[in-house]
Amino acid sequence: MANIIKSALYKLFKDWTFRITLIIGVALAVFMNLVYLGIDLLDGGTVGNICNGQTLFISSLSPTQNFGLTVPINLVVFTIGEFNCGTIRNKIIAGHKKSSIYLSMFLIGLIFTVSLMTIYFGLSVGIASAIGGFKTEGTTLNGFFQPELLYQYPLMALATYVFIVSFAIFIATLTRSIGGSMPLVIIPVVFLMFFAIIPMMQNITELNPGDTFDIGFQGWLNPIFTFGIMSLMSMKMDATWFIASLVTPIYWAAIFLVFGTLIFVKRDVK
């Protein structure tokens, strides 16, 4: 499997899809900072109220806003391209186990995702911090930044993108059609995001930035729950919420990885 991953990674980083997506990410990071800077200038001319490191720290990792949606789209295109080009079939003919091939697709997709999001996240936060500074207890677009989020939010985001990679690879290998896979991946992710917002909207008048939030049952079922909450207000994540934000997307990722592998092993590759 190591040889499969090595050859696929070489192909991935030479692929124009990856390069173009990376260019889009860099351009979008600059553009979003300019938008927030423009808001600051129009709102009294005080730079740093919105265009600051902590605001981009929260907003740039969202899987349904800005750059985040390019991840499942590119995963679908790249994975199905492996089928259309006969790469998967050649790997099977060469004697590689189907389970190893599927696991390698997941790992490659994870490396692809982490690479793109790390560059976008780092550039977004870096530019914003250079413009408006970074305060661990400063304000964001949606409230106040909590110091604990410095380690909680990136870990939660990583767990969430592990789920997105597993889900996108599962759908792509199941349908093997770009047109069929795109809505089956994008719509559920967006739906889960908005579904998480519902309890927040019901209680938003009773909450203040910095308060904790009762995650209820949805926190243990919805793998994108925290992103939905944070899209409306920067909240303080207590221990239960933080654990749920890691456990929930990871167990969903494991479910899709196991079922995806079983289906891929039993199904013919044409």
Q: Give pLDDT tens digits along the chain (270 positions).
A: 666 566 666 666 666 777 788 888 999 999 999 999 988 888 776 788 889 999 999 889 988 877 888 888 888 988 888 888 877 888 887 888 899 899 989 988 998 899 889 999 999 999 999 999 999 888 887 778 888 999 999 999 999 999 999 999 999 999 989 888 999 999 999 999 988 888 777 666 666 666 667 788 888 999 999 888 887 777 778 889 999 999 999 999 999 999 999 999 998 876
Question: Can you tell me the distance from the alpha carbon of 213 to that of 232, in angstroms, rounded to the nearest whole number?
Answer: 12
Q: Is 61 helix (H, G, I), strand (E, B) or coil?
A: coil
What are the structure tokens assigned to 38, written together? 């423009």
Question: What pLDDT score was predicted for residue 250?
Answer: 97
Residue 55's H or E segment, with its range, is: helix 53-59
Q: How far is CA 144 from CA 36, 105, 230, 235, 262, in A?
A: 16, 39, 11, 8, 45
The single-letter DSSP state of residue 215 is: -
Both tokens of 54, joined, read: 């902590």
Q: Look up residue 224 and give its amino acid.
A: I
Question: Would the pTM count as exceeding 0.75?
Answer: yes
CA angle 23-119-227, nearest 5°? 110
Q: Are 106 and 169 in contact (CB under 8 A)?
A: yes
The 8 Å CB, 24+ separation contacts for 184-192 are 185/72, 185/73, 185/75, 185/76, 186/69, 186/72, 186/73, 189/63, 189/64, 189/69, 189/72, 189/164, 189/224, 190/64, 192/222, 192/223, 192/224, 192/225, 192/228
Instruction: Report residue 109: phi and psi, to 5°.
Output: -65, -35
Tally of CB atoms within 10 A around 198: 10
**Virtual torsion, Cα 214, 218, 222, 224, nearest 10 deg:** -30
CA angle 259, 262, 265 (to 5 degrees): 145
The two three-digit tokens of residue 114, written as one number: 């982490």
